[in-house]
Structure 1
Amino acid sequence: MDRLVHHELRAVVSVLAATAVALTTAGLVRGFSPPSDPGRLGLCVAAVLASVVVWTLLKATRITWFSEVRDFEKAPPVEEAGPVLPAERFLRDRPFSPRLFVLYLLFAVPLSLWEPWAALLPLWSALDWLGQAALAAHWERRHGLLLWRGRVASRPWELSVSRRPPTRTATGARPA
């Protein structure tokens, strides 16, 4: 079982690593050179950021085809699922997804050899996953719940929720 926020952040780290490898490969093969028209690149970056922000805001609404919040609210409690798979710790167990890294690498390296700055295209999905993680973290904090993926091994995309454990003080004691 995996927290949704950790799953999304793991995807972001994997895509960023694949993008770094693709840019390095393109730089070594074709040479490191600045873009020919930096103003056009800036406009493209602004357009990508604006589209990702709008898409994330649409997912934060309750509009039928876009809403992620509706899926969060429909998630059943973990206790109703029966036997629960053990939870993973994000930074200790798997901060990186090798499959996703290889998938994006197979896409980004040939693209970067064709056009070096096109290797930045995978960042679009990394920004989308980062927005999804921020949306899930905001929802969790607001509702006092944790969102989990993979409580049923045959359907890892299904979400479930559990209560957030109480916070501890600096000495490790529970708050009064």
Structure 2
Amino acid sequence: MDRLLHHELRAVLSVCAALALALAVRGLHRGFSAPDRPGALALCLGGLLAFLVGWTLLKATGLKWFSHVRDFEKAVPVEDTGGALPTGRFLRDRPFSLRLFGLYLALALPLAHWEPVALGVLLWSALDWTGQAAVTAHWERRNGLLLWRGRAGDRPWELSVSPRPATRTASGAPPA
């Protein structure tokens, strides 16, 4: 099992690393140069960011066709699945997904050589995962639960929930 939030942040890091490597390879091969029309690029990136903020807010609602929150609320308690929670710090121990990095690098390298602006499609997915991570973190904090993915090895998309562990003070004692 893996925390849903950690899974999404790991995907963001992998995609951003693939994009950075693809842009570096393009820069080394064809030279680093400023865009021909920086105003158009800034307008395009601003529009992309505005649309993604709206899309993320739409996913944070309870609307039937868009909401991820509805999936979070249908999650089964971990105790009902018979599974035990992992105890490691997965994001710190494994912050990177090599499979996703390889897939995005295989897509990003040809796109970077063809037209670097086309990498906006890959940037879109990284920003979308960032928004999904924000929605997940907000839901977890508001409900006092942790979301886990992969209650069964062959169905990693199914979600489970567990209570958030009690916070501790700086001395390690439970709060009063």
Query: TM-score, normalised on structure 1?
Result: 0.96
Any gaps of 5 or more consecutive residues in structure 1?
none
Residue 123 of structure 2: aligned partner: 123
Q: CA deviation at 1:115?
A: 1.4
* CA deviation map 1:118-169 (0-9, x unaligned): 3343111111000000000000000000000012111011111000000000
User: Per-residue CA shift, 1:2-34, capped at 9, x if unaligned?
Assistant: 111100000000000000000001101111000
Q: What is the 5 A alignment of 1:104-143?
A: 104-143=104-143
Write the mapping of 1:147-162 to structure 2, written as runs, cut at 5 A.
147-162=147-162
Partner letter of residue 93 of structure 2? D
Deviation at 1:117, TM superposition (A): 3.4
Match of 2:96, SS state, is coil
Alignment of 1:1-176 (within 5 A): 1-84=1-84, 86=86, 88-176=88-176
Is this contact kept in 2: 1:4–1:149, CA < 8 A?
A: yes
Distance 1:20 1:2 in 2: 26
Contact 1:2 1:87 in 2 (8 A): no
Matches of 1:32 and 1:100 in 2, distance apart?
26
Deviation at 1:59, TM superposition (A): 0.5
Could you tell me whether the CA contact under 8 Å between 2:10 and 2:91 is conserved in 1?
no
Q: How far apart, in 2, do the equivalents of 1:168 and 1:55 lie?
A: 36
Of all paired residues, the percent bearing the same amino acid is: 69
Q: Check 1:87–1:100 CA distance in 2 against 1; reply closer, same or farther (3 A cut).
A: farther
CA RMSD of aligned residues (A): 1.2
1:147 aligned counterpart, secondary structure: strand
Deviation by residue 1:77-125 (Cα, 9 ceiling, x = unmatched): 0000013363552333310000000000000000001113333431111
Question: 2 CA distance for matches of 1:163 and 1:146?
Answer: 6
Q: Distance in 2 between matches of 1:89 and 1:16?
A: 22
Q: Contact 1:140/1:146 (CA < 8 Å) preserved in 2?
A: yes
**CA contact 1:149–1:157 (8 Å) conserved in 2:** yes
The total of aligned residue pairs comes to: 176
SS at 1:146 equivalent:
strand
Superposed CA offset, 1:36-56 (max 9, x none):
000000011011101111110
TM-score under structure 2 normalisation? 0.96
